[in-house]
Amino acid sequence: MGLTLRSVLTALVSLVSLSQGISLTGPRTLLVLEDDVKAQFQTLISDLEARGFTTTTHTPKSTTLTLFQHEERVYDNIIIFPTKLKGLGPNLPSSSFLKHATAGGNILILLPSSQDDNVPTAIAELATQVDIYLPPKGFAVVNHFDPADAIEPEHNTLLVDLPSFPSDTKNYFNTGEDKDAKLLYRGAGFAVGSSPLVQPILKAPRFAYSYDTKEASSFADDENVFSAGKQLALVAGVQTRNNARITFVAGGDLLADKSFTKVAKTNKMSGNRAFAKDVTAWTFKETGVLRVDGIEHWGEEFGKEVVNGDVYRIKHNVTFSIALSEYSYDHFKPFVAPADDAVQLEFIMLDPYYRIPLPASSSPLTQHKNSTTYSATFKTPDQHGVFTFAVNYKRPFLSNIHEKRAVTVRHFAHNEWTRSWGISGSWPWIAGIWVVVVGWIGFVGLWLWSKPVVAEGKGKKKQ
Amino acid sequence: MSTVKSVLFKDPASTESARSILRVLILLTIAAAAVASRLFSVIRFESIIHEFDPWFNFRASKYLVKHGFFDFWNWFDDRTWYPLGRVTGGTLYPGLMVTSGAIWHALRMISLPVDIRNICVLLAPGFSGLTAFATYLFTKEMKDSGAGLLAAAFMGIAPGYISRSVAGSYDNEAIAIFLLMFTFYLWIKAAKLGSAMWGGLCALFYFYMVSAWGGYVFITNLIPLHVFVLILMGRYSGRIYVAYSSWYALGTLASMQVPFVGFLPVKTSEHMAALGIFGLIQLVAFVDYLRGQVPSKQFNTLLRALVILITVVGFTGLVTLTVTGVIAPWSGRFYSLWDTGYAKIHIPIIASVSEHQPTAWPSFFFDLNMLIWLFPAGVYLSFRQLRDEHVFIIVYSVMASYFAGVMVRLMLTLTPIVCVAAAITVSSIFDTYLEIDSPEEQEEDSESKKSKKEKAKEAGGFLSSKAPFVGIYSITSKVAVVGAFSVYLVLFVLHCTWVTSNAYSSPSVVLASRMPDGSQHIIDDFREAYYWLRKNTPYDAKVMSWWDYGYQIGGMADRTTLVDNNTWNNTHIATVGKAMASREEVSYDILRKHEVDYVLVIFGGLLGYSGDDINKFLWMVRIAEGVWPQEVQERKFFTSRGEYKVDHEATDTMKNSLMYKMSYYKFPSLFPPGQAQDRVRGARLPSEGPVLHTLDEAFTSENWIVRIYKVKDLDQFGRDHFAVSAFEGGKKKKGKKGGMAGRAAGKRGRRVVRI
């Protein structure tokens, strides 16, 4: 008895400790790097471990490395560090990364900063699959107008502002203390396609461009420029439909120890270390993860006793509410939509009949801890059918909310119409009916009880 | 001779009780025979619901039994016509389900709990016994009980009726033919007696008929036509007036209580004849009353002129109202009754149903055998007597013959009158030839002859009805004719049994074939596939198939369907047709929009099952083309020589259509390379089968008749499915998206500006 109790307790405790894990995906992190590279990223790795990640290190060519065991993910997160190799090992083909992400795992990919280093084929293939296009070997980003180090002739190290986004997008990448800190960047950049799943996190400054250093050592003509300005992305995040995240950092030095220094120009600490934390936190799902805590819908006809019923009636008021919370490192907190953005509800049968904003409700039906309840009331359309309440909230850097609840909107039953006497226009007709009924009965009565006056006349008629 | 007669046949009056017992026995035997011959399907196969529509009726009956009458009345079915749903309670004829529901409750009340399925399966045979009885009553009114018994026997086993009433054929017609005959019997009775009670009863059964079958319109038009013809013949009488007025007033009000019918009786052209005759008969009655007051020889002529004038005025008014749109114009199905080519051009969805095709002449002999040549003789005999009720037979014969020629399924309405007319013929022949006495010995005969003559004269009938009575003198001719007809009758029974057992007892859900050793081999692919759906897919999975299989999927697999045999929404059906007839890129968007999870196709190429989807494919194309003429074009499915091909000559549009791909997916892999053979179309297929990108094969039944595909979800990484297959197939991304294979986007990067 005591033994079982203890084992249950142990299980509970281990569960609790698991749930305190910082990443929503899980703490098991695979570091793919060669030994000499590890030294360059000591701070990044120790910062991760300090946040609760458990790391396992493998070299790219490792033969014992396997991402799946019994068709289950072995690791929750993978970091591919820059490597000089042309290809990763046989256990890391591009398809294994896709499989890992399909199974819900996250991947952070650091591309080499030096233009002389290779991008492994598997990584380039993976990038192409998610609509990210890497330049060939030998490309580098330069910014002649604002070099980090004026003495460096190539102007290859850039000073980049921390990311900023329009006001309808939440910014998870500028959470450090110094909002105006500059990032030190060195790398080749890449181009991003038009897929809605890819979002550039860090873009190159307006005057920066990526060019082929082998063709032109210090300048570039149009032929040798890969991309430029805001179209040139330095860091980009991909969020798959099942909310796995893949982040490409075009220039691993951005997160390397050597960038966590003072910037000579401003004489302040660079923002790289804080940015590294933000990027890894987003990629490994410590930030920007939304959770639906509850969906409730009810109609006026049944009141709040029947919640989440299957059937509604046409032309009746329906209230829909959804409770959303957001994960932030180690806890869920109420999700507050950005000021210029709104959570929307669609009421769909083939096409949306309604698309209405869901304002935050002050008095929700069920109080959820640590979540905001968004709610709206509307009248069902005069059309029966199978309708779907759909909340399709897909925003950059937030995990996808695509909740659908199909309900039947039925027609009026035979006894739910207004009765005939309830319609004033019908009164003349009803009166007409009763006049006929009463008149007929009266006539029959008269006919039956009035004695024929002349009996002879009747007899004549018979003949 | 007379001693023999006196021994064999006593005075008719003294044997009346024995005769009535005999009649009851014979009727019971006929009913038993009628039921028994319909049980072939249960014996050969099992107690199972047949074909397509019965599956819906069965499902509706289960719903009725489970949820009660009022829920059934207001039933909104959200598992068909996804996502539109169907107001099923208001768009069906509830008579059939309510009947079986009532039987179910009645049996439970007497502690006989019977499964609703068995009631549904055996309802049609049970009612066929009642139909035989109704036919007996009807024919008895026309001639005598002898003819009635013959008619009952014919009706009991005529294949034309059996085709729609074998055990398991749980369709509206199962009870409707009984109701049709019984309503007609009551009408004849009412018209004969001029009784408001019989007219009221007629209206009651008319209401039952309206609640059971859309074919009630046949009664709605036939009875007024009968009355109209009688008025034109100058046979108007108070009896007709009472019978018709009570039937029409009560029957129309009652029929309007069926939600599906509603206000149709006062709004649509199909019902205008009955309304018009109702008005006419009031005028005629008024004029008749006037005549009673003012006797005049010219009055008759005046009356006829008036009748014709009013008819013309009424008809013109009707046309005007129809043109101006006050009265709904005739529905498509009715147009196709007048012009057999109409549906083919204008409403492909009606033309695509095989039972709406014009009848081929052999099927008259197949379904009615010798009755079809006895039928005109019976009509002729009706002309000879030509009382009011015989006019009904004539009118019925003419109308039903026409309609049976236009539409295969209306053979069903012809069958009863053919049985009645044939029974009158055979009975007259037996009356004449089975008379043991020779005519000269009989005094009564001449008397009866005379009286007949007088009767005919009184009736003011035709010349033929005044023909002299001719008796049969020789025993040889009597024996020869009676013997010949007995042989015919035996042959008829053999034919009926053979047709029933071979042609009409297949459930079509289960197919039967013969093994080389003669034993029966059951092909059960449909149920195998539907059961797979039922057991392996989520309860709310949506299955898309051509509408033919909608009811079966709903009934057997219990899954949500997009379209079914109800065909109330042409656009929705055309959408499915478009999805089947388009390229995968186009189809996938349609499938996603309708949240389709599985697609089901019927493919007969392996087994030689000719009723498969590729053979129906052109109808899908036509129906889709009717709605989207720009996107789906029938012409593109034919080769340049105008042939419909599935082999290597097939057009690109054909080969790229979803239907073609789903049908032949992996099919060539069954055969040695280059040997793939489609047994239905006799075509040799290309050795490279079609490739599917947006669907996964989920299930293929044993004989490949049913193939089910699962619609793939959107790609996790936002790629289209063609790119996914290309990547998984090991090919590198090429073309506009790729650049240097897998390595990079080329020196110039992506030139698509991202905002």
Q: Which CATH number fits domain A14-285: 3.30.530, 3.40.50, 1.10.10, 1.20.1630?
A: 3.40.50
**Whole-number pLDDT of residue A20:** 42
Does the CB of B514 have a partner CB in chain A at under 8 Å? no
**Whole-number pLDDT of residue B469:** 56
Strands B677-678 vs B683-684: parallel, antiparallel or unpaired: antiparallel
Return d(Cα B593, Cα B65) in angstroms, integer. 35
Q: CA of A411 to nearest chain B CA: how many angstroms apart?
A: 7
Q: CA of B739 to nearest chain A CA: how many angstroms apart?
A: 9
Q: Do B744 and A136 touch (CB under 8 A)?
A: yes
Q: Do A385 and B84 touch (CB under 8 A)?
A: yes
Contacts of A411 in chain B (CB under 8 A): 74, 76, 87, 90
Contacts of B593 in chain A (CB under 8 A): 350
| Structure confidence by residue, pLDDT tens digits, B707-719 | 999 999 998 888 8
Q: Which of B716, B738, B752 sits opposite A242 (nearest CB)?
A: B716
Q: Which of A125, A128, A133 sits opposite B749 (nearest CB)?
A: A133
| Structure confidence by residue, pLDDT tens digits, B468-488 | 556 667 888 888 999 999 999
**Whole-number pLDDT of residue B607:** 87
In chain A, CATH 3.40.50 covers 14-285
| Percent of chain B scoring above 70 in pLDDT | 87
User: Is pLDDT above 50 for B79?
Assistant: yes
Return d(Cα B315, Cα B567) in angstroms, integer. 32
Return d(Cα B176, Cα B409) in angstroms, integer. 13
A110: its two tokens: 């650091």
| Percent of chain B scoring above 90 in pLDDT | 47
Contacts of A196 in chain B (CB under 8 A): 718
Return d(Cα B610, Cα B601) in angstroms, integer. 13
User: Is pLDDT above 70 for B564?
Assistant: yes
| Structure confidence by residue, pLDDT tens digits, A7-37 | 554 444 444 444 444 788 889 999 998 888 8
Mutate to test the interface with A, among B258, B260, B716 (most CBs of A within 10 A): B716
Residue B223 vs residue B440, higher pLDDT: B223
Instruction: Pick the closest to residue B707 from B592, B568, B613 (CA basis).
Output: B613
What is the residue-wise DSSP string for B257-323?
TSTTTTTHHHHBGGGHHHHHHHHHHHHHHHHHHHHHHS--TTHHHHHHHHHHHHHHHHHHHHHHHHH
* Residues 361-390 (A) with a CB less than 8 A from some CB of B: 384-388
DSSP alpha helix (H) spans, A247-287:
272-283
Contacts of B539 in chain A (CB under 8 A): none
CB atoms within 10 A of CB B666: 14
What is the residue-wise DSSP string for B609-633?
-SSSHHHHHHHHHHHHHHH-TTT--
In chain A, CATH 2.60.40.1930 covers 289-410
**Whole-number pLDDT of residue A303:** 76
Beta strands in A77-217 (DSSP E): 77-80, 106-111, 132-133, 139-142, 158-161, 182-185, 190-192, 198-203, 209-212
Does the CB of A101 have a partner CB in chain B at under 8 Å? yes
B507 preceded by cis ω (within 30°)?
Answer: no
User: Is pLDDT above 60 for B690?
Assistant: yes
- The domain made up of A289-410 has a fold known as Immunoglobulin-like (2.60.40)
| Structure confidence by residue, pLDDT tens digits, B13-47 | 677 888 889 999 999 999 999 999 999 888 888 88
- The CATH architecture one would assign to domain B524-735 is 3-Layer(aba) Sandwich (3.40)
**Whole-number pLDDT of residue B449:** 46
| Structure confidence by residue, pLDDT tens digits, B211-222 | 999 889 999 999
Q: CA of A30 to nearest chain B CA: how many angstroms apart?
A: 22
Residue B267 vs residue A287, higher pLDDT: A287
**Whole-number pLDDT of residue A455:** 55
* Residues 660-699 (B) with a CB less than 8 A from some CB of A: none
**Whole-number pLDDT of residue B426:** 93
Q: Do B727 and A129 touch (CB under 8 A)?
A: yes
Residue B196 vs residue B470, higher pLDDT: B196
**Whole-number pLDDT of residue B331:** 67
Does the CB of B444 have a partner CB in chain A at under 8 Å? no
**Whole-number pLDDT of residue A393:** 93
Return d(Cα A323, Cα A332) in angstroms, integer. 12
Q: Do B717 and A197 touch (CB under 8 A)?
A: yes
Does the CB of A135 have a partner CB in chain B at under 8 Å? yes
| Structure confidence by residue, pLDDT tens digits, B134-193 | 999 999 999 888 899 999 999 999 998 998 899 988 999 989 999 999 999 999 999 999
B355: its two tokens: 């039972």
In contact, A319 and A274? CB cutoff 8 Å: no
Q: Which of A128, A227, A350 sits opposite B83 (nearest CB)?
A: A350
Residue A433: its H or E element: helix A427-449
Which residues fall within 8 angstroms of residue B388, CB to CB, at 6 or more apart? B191, B192, B230, B235, B240
Q: CA of A269 to nearest chain B CA: how many angstroms apart?
A: 32
At residue A361, what is the residue type? S
Q: CA of A39 to nearest chain B CA: how many angstroms apart?
A: 28
Q: CA of A432 to nearest chain B CA: how many angstroms apart?
A: 17
At residue A385, what is the residue type? G
Instruction: Pick the closest to residue A213 from A117, A109, A125, A83 (CA basis).
Output: A117
Q: Do B718 and A98 touch (CB under 8 A)?
A: no
Mutate to test the interface with B, among A94, A100, A125, A129 (most CBs of B within 10 A): A129
**Whole-number pLDDT of residue A304:** 78
β-bridge mates for residue A158, sequence order: A147, A185
Does the CB of B719 have a partner CB in chain A at under 8 Å? yes
Give CA B114 to chain center in angstroms.
Answer: 28
Q: Which of B85, B593, B739 sits opposite A133 (nearest CB)?
A: B739
Residues of chain A with pLDDT under 70: 1-21, 150, 216-220, 454-463
pLDDT grade for B740, boundaries at 50, 70 and 90: very low
Which residue of chain A has the CA closest to B750? A191
pLDDT grade for B752, boundaries at 50, 70 and 90: low
Q: Do A124 and B733 touch (CB under 8 A)?
A: no
Residue B500 exposure: Cα atoms within 13 Å on the Cβ side: 30
Q: Which of A191, A197, A410 sits opposite B745 (nearest CB)?
A: A191
* Residues 343-362 (A) with a CB less than 8 A from some CB of B: 349-350
Q: Based on the number of CB atoms within 10 Å of its own CB, is B459 exposed (0-12), middle (13-18) or buried (19 or more)? A: middle
Size of interface A-B (CB pairs under 8 A): 132
